[in-house]
Amino acid sequence: MFNMMKTAILMAAITALFMAIGGMIGGSSGMMLALVVAVGMNFFSYWFSDKMVLKMYNAREVDETSAPRFYAMVKDLAQRAQLPMPRVYLIDEAAPNAFATGRNPEHAAVAATTGIVNVLTDRELRGVMAHELAHVKHRDILISTISATMAGAISMLANFAMFFGGRDSEGRPSNPIAGIATAILAPLAASLIQMAISRAREFEADRGGAEICGDPQALASALEKIHRHAQGLPMSAAEAHPETAQMMIINPLSGDGLRSLFSTHPPMQERVARLRAMSSHT
């Protein structure tokens, strides 16, 4: 219940930020328009965000005929987690990664890159897919996709404010310096909100995934291995749509410095350490 309340507060913060930028562009009428757009986007995200994200990554759906071992693995884990069978996708991408999406457990999908399937052992891959099914079980997937959609819209709206200016509450042209500041700070604020939503949920999905597969060491080993293999292998779709990075099991974005400082994922060493501690207590 506490996590649901915290998530609701954070999503309200994203909506408020969207309204604030709308207010800067068009005054009070712009703020109201932004609220209407935000509500509409949340409605759209609820029904269609999973299809949109899967299309961004050129994911192809597979079944027991086209990917028998992988499909059977997900099916077995879904049964262990007492979840409906999700749709299963593969992404033809060398960078090792995976994510889950969908509005609820009855309409969920899990996707993995061909890179992660090739790099990991079956035992390690089970740990990864169990992590994604834990996101489904915890109902994280809807929040992840909605926050990704809203964060992308905030960046677009902030850039619009910088290039086309805006109006204050009296309808007068706003300060151009404020427009530039908004273009820089608004996406940063959206990233901070996404980070707050995502980091705690990754730890919970690690724990839940370890319980589903019954093998914390397998997930710990998988995280270490994909972290090593991902170095120098950027995901082009993630780089083009950085707001979707928080959906992945590891951060798919290249670059250090400020970008890594505001990563939506917790430090890999801490995730692995927590899983190793789980293993020692079982």
For the record, the structure tokens of 79 come out as 């049964």
First to last CA, the chain: 27
Helix (H), strand (E), coil (C) string for 102-158: ECCHHHEEEEEEHHHHHHCCHHHHHHHHHHHHHHHHCCHHHHHHHHHHHHHHHHHHH
On the 0-12 / 13-18 / 19+ scale of CB atoms within 10 A, 205 is: buried
Catalytic residue at 211?
no
For the record, the structure tokens of 184 come out as 């820089």
CA distance 171 to 80: 59
Is 155 in contact with 186 (CB distance < 8 Å)?
yes
The strands making up 98-102's β-sheet, listed across from edge to edge, are 60-62, 87-91, 108-113, 98-102
Active-site choice (93, 132, 202, 243): 132
Is 156 in contact with 185 (CB distance < 8 Å)?
no
Q: Tell me the one-letter amino acid at 144.
A: S
CA distance 141 to 130: 14
CA distance 222 to 246: 18
Q: Give the residue numbers marked as catalytic.
A: 132
